[in-house]
Structure 1
Amino acid sequence: MKTTLYIQNLKCEHCKTIILQELSKLKNITNAFIKSQYATITFEHLYPEDVEKVKQTLSNIGYPPFGEKNNFIKKPNSSSSSSKELSK
């Protein structure tokens, strides 16, 4: 099976390296790749419960899937957040 997840806090090549290193340690997870411009990770897995393992791992290392709690303490300024602050 193949799954794609949108992830939070993906900012640079170092982020991609960390994520791919951690996911390579998981059993049944193969062919993971990240599209930075879309903040997505796509991977192949054997069982539906493998997706939950990936989500938990991503959350534990600071890259939770969209829709899950983001515990990143200080979020970097982005153009969208800057423009929101300017419109206040």
Structure 2
Amino acid sequence: MTKTLNIQNLKCSGCANTILTKLSNLDKVSGVTVDVENNSVTFDYQDDFALHEVKETLKSNGYPEEGENNPLVTKAKSFVSCAIGKMN
């Protein structure tokens, strides 16, 4: 199945690189693409557990789904993830 999620805190190619790396390492997830302009990530997943795992991975790295709580701590995580993505 293919899914597109609109996410928060996606700012640049560094963020996109981190998201690509983190999600590509998940089992049962493939074909990850990130659209910085539209603040979205698209991917193929095999089951509901994989979808849940993607959402949790995004959230734990500072990129919660649109409409979810986005406190300052989460925004700070996205800045760290972005910096790591720029270095890789």
* Superposition TM-score, scaled by structure 1 size: 0.78
Aligned length: 75
Identity %: 37
Structure 2, unpaired ranges of 5+ = 76-88
**Which protein is bigger by CA-based radius of gyration?**
1
Q: Is the aligned partner of 1:67 residue 2:67? A: yes
Q: Give the gaps of 5 or more residues in structure 1.
A: 76-88
In structure 1, give the amino acid aligned to 2:35. Answer: K
- Larger % of helix: which? 2
Moved over 6 A (4+): none
Q: Taking CA–CA contacts closer than 8 Å with sequence separation of 6 or more, which of the two structures ends up with the larger relative contact order?
A: 2
Q: Which residue of 2 aligns with 1:45?
A: 45
Q: TM-score, normalised by structure 2?
A: 0.78
C-alpha root-mean-square deviation of aligned residues, in Å? 1.6
